[in-house]
Structure 1
Amino acid sequence: MQGYNVIMVYNPNMDRLLMCKRLKNPYKGLSNLVGGKIEAGESGTEAAYRELFEETNISKDDIVLHHLMDLKYYQQDCYVEVYFGKLKRNVAVSGDENMLYWSDLNHNFFDMSLYAGEGNIGHMIEQVNMCRDKLLVDFDK
């Protein structure tokens, strides 16, 4: 079963989320979270930090990632590990795989004509919102 990750990166005020506009399939033209494959012999956390750096130039020094949830797709023989974090400070993001941008959080992330993942991005954001107070304490540790 192939493993993947998605990474939710919030700005220091937790009022913006790092998104990318997909330049290739799947989901070409739609907004998505950053992430990628978990390689053989690599832990999910290691893969999340590696993918985050490769796609955005955000390093382990800039953010602490927390494992939020996993999604398992039996028919596609894959699973997705979901990570989130709040940047410790404002950083310049850069990458050449997809167009990166900061999104306000007042959008309908369940809109599948704009966002990849069949509504999962909206679900993930709601999960973070449900435990926001606890997360803010955890982020500051």
Structure 2
Amino acid sequence: MQGYNVLMIYNKDMNQLLMCKRLKNPYKGLSNLVGGKIEIGEAGIDSAYRELYEETCISQEDINLHHLMDFKYYQQNCYVEVYVGRLKRDVRVSGDENVLYWSELNKDFFDMSLYAGEGNIGHMIEQVNMVRDSLFFEHQ
């Protein structure tokens, strides 16, 4: 079963989410979260930090990632691990795989004509909203 990760990267103020405009299929032209393939034998969290750096130039020193949830797709023989993090400071993002941009959070992330993932992005954002204080604000 092939593993993938999806990375929910919030800015320092938790009012923007890092998105990308997909340049190829699946979901060509739609907005998506960054992420990638988990290599055979690679731990999920290690893969998450590696993909984050490869796609955005955000390093492990810039952010702490938390394992939020997983999706398992038996008919497609794959699973997706979802990680979330809040930047410790303002960071300049750059990558050449997809067009990166910061999205405000007042969007309809369930709109499948604009966002990849059949509504999963909206669902994941709602899950973060339920636990954000315990994840990001209790240790300050």
In the alignment, what sits opposite 1:96? 96
Q: C-alpha displacement at 1:134, in angstroms?
A: 1.0
- Give the secondary-structure state (helix, strand or coil) at the position aligned to 1:47: helix
Structure 1 unaligned blocks of 5 or more: none
Structure 2 unaligned blocks of 5 or more: none
Q: Distance in 2 between matches of 1:123 and 1:135?
A: 17
In the alignment, what sits opposite 2:58? 58
In the alignment, what sits opposite 2:38? 38
In the alignment, what sits opposite 1:13? 13
Q: C-alpha displacement at 1:104, in angstroms?
A: 0.3
Amino-acid identity (%): 76
Give the TM-score, by structure 2 length: 0.98
- Give the secondary-structure state (helix, strand or coil) at the position aligned to 2:113: coil
Give the TM-score, by structure 1 length: 0.97
Query: What do residues 44-100 of structure 1 show as CA deviations (whole Å, max 9, x unaligned)?
Result: 000000000000000000000000000000000000000000000000000000000
Query: What do residues 85-138 of structure 1 show as CA deviations (whole Å, max 9, x unaligned)?
Result: 000000000000000000000000000000000000000000000112212235
- Give the secondary-structure state (helix, strand or coil) at the position aligned to 1:86: strand
Q: Distance in 2 between matches of 1:53 and 1:28?
A: 22
Task: Quote the RMSD (CA, aligned, Å).
Answer: 0.9
